[in-house]
Amino acid sequence: MNSELNIDQTTLVNAWQERLPTVLKPGDHAEVAADMANPHAVRIHIDAAGRQDYSFDFECRYVDSREVEVKLVDVERAGVVIDERNENIQGMAGDYTRHIHECAQALQQITHP
């Protein structure tokens, strides 16, 4: 049975900001912010570790209290938006999407008590 997300956005953002770095690779850096258009969503910015200077922006929207929908918004390299259809970029985005889902599962203790 699906249930509606029943947590305030500030608490949600803080929980994501605390937990997400623990599921990412060492050297990756994440910032989580409230999605101002949707109280049941967060925006995630990830700076990838390494010398390639990639950063990824995702929208993570709660479908219900346990399930999230993750959408890649854009990818930048050295601050310039690039085509995310490149095979390497798709692989990295897929890895980050899995990490975001992993984080959402770990946060079910507060989103689906």
What's residue 1's pLDDT?
46
Pairing of strands 29-34, 41-47: antiparallel
Model confidence at 10, pLDDT cuts 50, 70, 90, reads: very high
The arithmetic mean of pLDDT across residues 3-12, rounded, is 89
How would you write 29-89 as a 3-class SS string? EEEEEECCCCCCEEEEEEECCCCCCEEEEEEEEECCCCCEEEEEEEEEECCEECCCCCHHH
C-alpha 29/C-alpha 33 separation (Å) is 14
What's residue 41's pLDDT?
96
The arithmetic mean of pLDDT across residues 82-88, rounded, is 91
Model confidence at 2, pLDDT cuts 50, 70, 90, reads: low
Per-residue pLDDT for 53 more than 70?
Answer: yes
Contact 50, 78 (CB under 8 A): no
C-alpha 88/C-alpha 105 separation (Å) is 26
